[in-house]
């Protein structure tokens, strides 16, 4: 009996050690973890780098909303290194914290910026940003550094006179080089760059640069040799043109390799004028299907704009990856709200688990002092499963009666939109078979905001190089009908920068694991050529090596704990089996 007690004690100790290792492991940025422990990336994370873009005027408030997604208390450090700004906050699970940083951190004009924000958290959090001037607001969902990429395409809109369409890039590593191919005229330095020319810029970690233009920059192509974060939008714009009033637009862009092919757009609650949306192509010759009609986007970055005037959802499908952006219309379209821009998560990137997010609680016009009313639009991957809940109430429960009589319920299959409480809200999904996509938005008298709640960032585009022709081929990573499931786990790395030597852009030359015999794509795989900008290979010069990642300040991670975390599960199982065997043997001895 004593032996059993000792072994049971050892099992408990091993289990506690395993739990401790997992808790400590969550403190490290995911990109610093070994591959075996690195989670599939999504918009929840522990390490964020971004910058606020320019608003109509100098912002009145720059707000960072921290959502707690992990058990217990999470400590978060927020810094703006160039401005010596430091904030420490604590957030509990299913709660939010609002943190103001000085408006001087917002970007100003074209050029390098000093307001790069760096957020480091002990556990997984969700981060939203709000750039606010009275009645000129918008928000964005921040993407953690482990979900960033090397290629982006800008989404913006037509700015009003004296205002700007714009995008902003922040470097997460030293020796970062950008290749920017604008779709319209951009001034940089002492010259004007036209469509077809490439702007080459070098950045160091925590450096940000903003580009502005008097014309719509949608479709501008950005390439980097190291992961960067990219935000885009407009300082102030009308949506659609000639419908007043203008408002600020901003979203943080997902990298191109995470774009999808299937989307559901829901109408905005309490807006009778419908909405605008754009479909932007990642690659040439993309076929788009919307509401029974087919159209073609023939060039990378080309887009098509749609006006949905009826209060019904819209389904979008495409033959190749696209990005879908939804816009709220201006105030004079129905005398409610104002322009806002939000990225629609593709069905392929619907998220699982728990996401806590906040609402923007500003008031509208000073004379009316009416608070914004906030709403959420949720799409569930299977309407047969009622697992997804908002604040512990099933999202698809038909008995829900909280829809206000002055609002509009939009329901289509497993989609629903409704008003939510101001402050913290949590969407929870315990099911392993159901995923969801969601956006949060709000409208007041002449003001609005909109932003995604969360989504995954799994790689959808895989690449291979034909060694004979040196042609870069891209194909759907998950087309299992053609045997295209990649050998590596999606989302762990980045596609190689086109080149004959297979350079990955990280200072290493590695074989492509998706390359078949002789460097060819296996027969039958739906592949298509990607023709890179010819200036990219010529512009690449030898860069200094990247320094190894630094451990977090609290030094809570060690190799010993990593090894213990790897062997603890097997150890626990072994000890349990040993306890059972010894107990049975001891019982037999007692009996005889």
> What confidence tens digit (pLDDT) does each residue in 547-589 have?
433 444 443 434 444 444 445 556 656 667 777 777 766 665 5
CB 216 within 8 A of CB 157: yes
Residue 421: pLDDT over 50: yes
Which whole number is the average pLDDT over 481-509? 35
Residue 532: pLDDT over 80: no
Which whole number is the average pLDDT over 313-326? 94
> What confidence tens digit (pLDDT) does each residue in 90-107 have?
999 999 999 999 999 999
Where residue 270 falls among pLDDT bands split at 50, 70, 90?
confident
Q: How far apart are CA 468 and CA 482, in angstroms?
A: 23
Where residue 486 falls among pLDDT bands split at 50, 70, 90?
very low
Q: Which residue has the higher pLDDT, 5 or 380?
A: 380
Omega before 467 within 30 of 0, i.e. cis: no
Distances (CA, A) of 543 to 202, 473, 506: 10, 26, 10
SS (H, E, C) 149-171: EEEEECCCCCECCCCCEEEEEEE
In the chain, the N- to C-terminal Cα span, in Å, equals 16
> What confidence tens digit (pLDDT) does each residue in 224-243 have?
999 999 999 999 898 988 88
Which whole number is the average pLDDT over 289-312? 91
State the sign of the Cα–Cα–Cα–Cα dihedral 269, 274, 276, 282: positive
pTM beyond 0.85: no
Q: By percentage, how much of the chain surpasses pLDDT 90?
A: 48
Q: Which residue has the higher pLDDT, 208 or 527?
A: 208
559-591 helix and 2-25 helix, angle to the nearest 10 degrees: 160
In this structure, of 202-216, 341-355, 482-496, the range with the lowest mean pLDDT score is 482-496
Q: How far apart are CA 245 and CA 444, in angstroms?
A: 13
> What confidence tens digit (pLDDT) does each residue in 104-120 have?
999 999 999 999 999 99
Mean pLDDT of the residues in the chain:
77
Residue 518: pLDDT over 50: no
CB 365 within 8 A of CB 447: yes
> What confidence tens digit (pLDDT) does each residue in 176-209 have?
999 999 999 998 888 889 888 999 999 999 999 9
Q: How far apart are CA 10 and CA 19, in angstroms?
A: 14
pLDDT of residue 43: 97
Which whole number is the average pLDDT over 56-75? 94
Which whole number is the average pLDDT over 370-374? 81
């Amino acid at each position: 009996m004593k032996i059993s007690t000792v072994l049971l004690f050892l099992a408990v100790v091993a289990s506690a050690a395993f739990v401790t290792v997992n808790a400590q492991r969550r403190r490290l940025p995911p990109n610093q973890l070994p591959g075996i422990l690195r989670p599939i990336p999504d918009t929840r994370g522990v390490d964020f780098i971004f910058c606020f873009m320019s608003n109509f005027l100098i912002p009145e408030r720059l707000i960072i909303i921290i959502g707690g997604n992990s058990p217990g208390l999470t400590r978060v450090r927020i810094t703006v290194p160039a401005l010596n700004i430091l904030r420490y906050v604590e957030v509990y699970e299913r709660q939010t914290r609002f943190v103001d940083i000085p408006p001087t951190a917002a970007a100003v004009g074209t050029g390098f910026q000093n307001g790069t924000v760096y957020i480091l958290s002990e556990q997984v959090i969700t981060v939203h940003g709000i750039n606010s001037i009275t009645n000129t607001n918008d928000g964005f969902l921040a993407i953690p550094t482990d979900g960033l990429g090397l290629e982006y395409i800008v989404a913006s809109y037509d700015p009003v006179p004296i205002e700007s369409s714009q995008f902003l890039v922040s470097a997460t590593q030293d020796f970062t080089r950008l290749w920017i191919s604008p779709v319209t005229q951009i001034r940089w330095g002492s010259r004007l760059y036209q469509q077809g020319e490439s702007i080459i810029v070098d950045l160091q970690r925590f450096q940000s640069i903003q580009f502005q233009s008097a014309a719509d920059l949608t479709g501008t192509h950005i390439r980097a040799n190291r992961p960067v974060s990219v935000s885009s939008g407009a300082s102030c714009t009308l949506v659609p043109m000639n419908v007043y009033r203008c408002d600020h637009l901003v979203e943080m862009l997902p990298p191109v390799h995470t774009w999808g092919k299937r989307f559901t757009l829901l109408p905005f609650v309490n807006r009778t004028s419908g909405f605008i949306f754009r479909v932007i192509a990642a690659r040439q010759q993309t076929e788009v299907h919307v509401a029974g009609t087919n159209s073609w986007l023939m060039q990378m970055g080309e887009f098509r704009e749609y006006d949905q005037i009826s209060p019904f959802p819209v389904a979008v499908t495409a033959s190749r990856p696209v990005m879908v952006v939804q816009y709220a219309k201006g105030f004079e379209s129905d005398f409610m709200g104002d322009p806002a821009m939000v990225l629609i998560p593709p069905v392929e990137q619907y998220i699982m688990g728990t996401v806590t997010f906040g609402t923007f609680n500003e008031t509208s016009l000073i004379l009316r002092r009416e608070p914004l009313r906030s709403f959420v639009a949720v799409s569930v991957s299977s309407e047969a499963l009622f697992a997804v809940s908002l604040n512990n109430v099933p999202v698809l429960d038909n008995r829900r009666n909280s829809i206000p009589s002055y609002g509009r319920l939009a329901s289509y299959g497993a989609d629903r939109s409704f008003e939510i409480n101001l402050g913290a809200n949590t969407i929870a999904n315990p099911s392993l078979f159901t995923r969801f996509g969601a956006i949060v938005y709000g409208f007041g008298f002449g003001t609005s905001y909109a932003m995604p709640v969360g989504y995954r960032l799994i790689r959808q585009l895989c690449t291979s190089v034909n060694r004979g022709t040196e042609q870069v081929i891209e194909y759907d990573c998950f087309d299992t009908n053609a045997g295209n499931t990649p050998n590596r786990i999606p989302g762990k790395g980045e596609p190689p920068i086109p080149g004959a030597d297979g350079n990955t852009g990280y200072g290493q030359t590695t074989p492509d694991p998706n390359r078949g015999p002789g460097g060819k794509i296996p027969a039958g795989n739906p592949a298509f050529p990607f023709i890179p900008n010819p200036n990219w290979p010529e512009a690449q010069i030898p860069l200094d090596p990247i320094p190894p990642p630094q451990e977090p300040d609290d030094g809570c991670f060690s190799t010993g704990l990593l090894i213990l975390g790897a062997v603890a599960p097997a150890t626990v199982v072994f000890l349990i089996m040993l306890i059972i065997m010894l107990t049975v043997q001891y019982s037999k001895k007692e009996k005889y």
